[in-house]
Structure 1
Amino acid sequence: MSLQGLSTVAVTSRLCCSARNPSTGRTISVRCKAVGENRQVSLDETIVYEGIYGPWTVDDTDVREVILYRSGLVTAAASFVVAASVAFLPDNFSLSAALKQNVDLFYVLGSGGLGLSLFLIHIYVTEIKRALQALWGLGVLGSATTYFVLAQPANKNLIEYVIDNPSSVWLVGPLFAALTGLVFKEGLCYGKLEAGLLTFVIPIVLLGHLTGLMDDGVKLTLLASWMTLFVIFAGRKFTQPIKDDIGDKSVFVFNSLREDERKALLEKLEQQKTQN
């Protein structure tokens, strides 16, 4: 198989990671400790990873952006769990009233956390990343429209209106479709069971509410599963090595090159492969 064919398979089969696209082909040394590595890394030590198109390393900016990516997921998960917990608290419980009054605030915080993660997510196929971001944008726009045009005139908060009016799922749904795409990518790349389960639980809950084919008991059970899986998913992100969420930086370096530079690099790598 040619190197070009090999690179195509690698790029299309792996949608992993999160961070930034490097703008140059230079190897950058790391002066940090990579979280979750199998061994301790001193401040002066540089770990060089072998990528498809050459060696690469982790820098301080990569570490910060991965932490922000994971923090966005934690924010989204925590906000969702707090907001959704209202469905399980007794009406006469003092905390229940306070949560109901601020449930839209948690919705905004969770949406913002998800947006941050989608901005920083590292996916080799740019079109997929842009599609997830577009879904998030549509969901935010739809949520704002639902709140200001429909919920406020009815003297309801956004969540309450969506619960009472299942058809409004069409407006807020794209936001959760973006979340589904993110967890699907995580499940596919890292084999995370909780992410794989969320890929099915999220759309099932929304479609069940939209169609009215699911009774409240089933919806509450699935909602509780969603809350639990989301917490596990977000928490376990911090057990992964930083480099996992960065991915193969050499691919992004390659994608940033001009066509003639790509061709020259492929020819060089092909020659090295033949010599070896």
Structure 2
Amino acid sequence: MALRLLSATFVTVPKLQISKKRDGFTEARVSSSPSISSISRKTGSIKCQALGESSVDGVVNQGIYGPWTVDSSDVREVILYRSGLVTAAASFVVAASAAFLPENSLPSNVINENLDLLYTLGAGGLGLSLFLIHIYVTEIKRTLQALWALGVVGSLATYTSLAQPTGENLIQYVIDNPTAVWFIGPLFAALTGLVFKEGLCYGKLEAGILTFIIPTVLLGHLTGIMDNGVKLTLLASWMALFVIFASRKFTQPIKDDIGDKSVFMFNALAEEEKMALIEKLEQQKLKNLK
């Protein structure tokens, strides 16, 4: 993962468990032996919870900043994240399949009549996944979300101002007017960023290939330097790889999509709390060296 470099500073520190409670309470535990010492700050009542008490599988994972467990809210978020990807993939594949069906056939007509709905469902699924995606560097996550939002606004503006007045759906308008790729492109840039992250983190070949196919198809259509045969070949590859990518997400352990939860817990703390915990860790480290 990209932020693993940051871990070099703390690889030798004792175990740290940090939990962020809904009532504003923050708790951290540092341990270098079976005994545990605690540092607590509170804005309400003090609550203590044993490590692994809320774990759904009873497994304690060791993170950069200490041990962590998978709870029911983590499972729910991961399932929603993967469901968003499935929705995006399914919507795209159904919509794109119209390019390979005989014109004026019943399946083709049904799909063409519902292209705007399919596009909306796909964009919504992608947005859900980007909202729930776990990326250590918050700025990268916010950038992907901003690209998605920009693409949604551009798509809506293109549909209402350009496509609808001519009696076309959004996708058909973009096909007929390649320059419209500029307006919807940010949404697909966000999708490219998501599959790149998946390919980088988990070494997934289909995600790595999609990282190149998605922008290639869009840029090829925008510039006009790619003939229809090549575009259809790449489009078919995109469809197949997207199905594989979305399907394989459900073969991964839940904890894979969570990442190192201890990093997110640490990042959720206020700066003064981070400093206090780091200071405590350093003191514990020095104590252990004596």
TM-score by length of 1: 0.86
Report the RMSD for the aligned CA atoms in angstroms.
Answer: 2.1
Question: How many pairs does the alignment contain?
Answer: 251
Please tell me the residue identity of whatever aligns with 1:8: L
**1:225 and 2:254 matched:** no
Whether 1:8 and 2:2 are equivalent positions in the alignment is no
Which residue is equivalent to 2:121? Answer: 109
Equivalent in the alignment of 1:62:
74
Q: Give the distance between the partners of 1:145 and 1:135, measured in 2 at CA.
A: 15
Q: Report what 1:15 is aligned to.
A: none
Tell me the alpha carbon deviations over residues 141-184 of structure 1, each in whole angstroms, 9 at most, x when there is no partner. 00011111000111111010000000000000000000000000
Deviations 1:197-237 (A, max 9, x none): 00000000000000000000000000000000100000000
Structure 1 contact 79–109 (Cα < 8 Å) conserved: yes
Please tell me the residue identity of whatever aligns with 2:267. N
Q: 1:258 aligns with which of 266, 270, 275?
A: 270
Distance 1:111 1:262 in 2: 37
State the Cα deviation string for residues 44-83 of structure 1 (Å, max 9, x = none): xx21111111111111010011000000000000000000
Q: Check if 1:96 corresponds to 2:94.
A: no
Equivalent residue number for residue 73 of structure 1: 85
Corresponding residue number in structure 1 for 2:144: 132
Q: In the superposition, relative to structure 1, how do residues 174 and 22 fare at CA in structure 2: closer, same or farther (>3 Å)?
A: farther
Judging changes above 3 Å, is the alpha-carbon distance between structure 1 residues 105 and 71 closer, same or farther for their aligned structure 2 residues? same
Checking the alignment, whether the CA contact within 8 Å between 1:7 and 1:52 is kept in structure 2 is: no
- On the 8 A contact 2:84/2:129 being kept in 1, the answer is yes
Pairing partner for 1:245 from 254, 257, 273 = 257
- 1:28 Cα deviation from its structure 2 partner: 5.7
2:167 corresponds to which of 151, 155, 180: 155
Matched letter for residue 239 of structure 2: M
Contact 1:115/1:133 (<8 A) preserved: yes
User: Rg: which structure is higher?
Assistant: 2
Please state whether the residue corresponding to 2:165 is helix, strand or coil: coil
Moved more, 87-96 or 194-203: 87-96
Asked if 2 retains the 8 angstrom alpha-carbon contact of 1:30 and 1:47, the reply is no
Q: Which residue of 52, 62, 66 maps to 1:50?
A: 62
Deviation of the 1:247 alpha carbon: 1.1
Query: How far apart are the structure 2 equivalents of 1:196 and 1:149?
Result: 35
Aligned CA distance change for structure 1 residues 7 and 215 (closer, same or farther; 3 Å): closer
Structure 1 residue 268: deviation in Å? Answer: 3.3
Higher strand share: 2
What's the offset of the Cα at 1:121? 0.5
Instruction: Tell me the equivalent position of 2:98.
Output: 86
Q: How big is each residue's C-alpha offset from its partner over 1:232-268, in whole Å with a ceiling of 9 and x where there is no partner?
A: 0000000100001111111111112232322232233
Aligned AA for 2:53? S
The answer on whether the counterparts of 1:139 and 1:175 sit within 8 Å (CA) in structure 2 is yes
d(CA) in 1 for partners of 2:280, 2:185: 47
Q: Are the aligned partners of 1:25 and 1:253 in contact in 2 as well (CA < 8 Å)?
A: no
Give the letter aligned to residue 228 of structure 1.
A
Which residue number in structure 2 is paired with residue 35 of structure 1? none
Alignment check: 8 A CA contact 1:29 1:59 kept: no
Q: Which whole-Å CA distance do the structure 1 matches of 2:90 and 2:232 have between them?
A: 18
Is residue 246 of structure 2 the alignment partner of residue 234 of structure 1? yes
1:172 is the counterpart of 2:202: no
Query: What is the Cα deviation at residue 140 of structure 1?
Result: 0.4
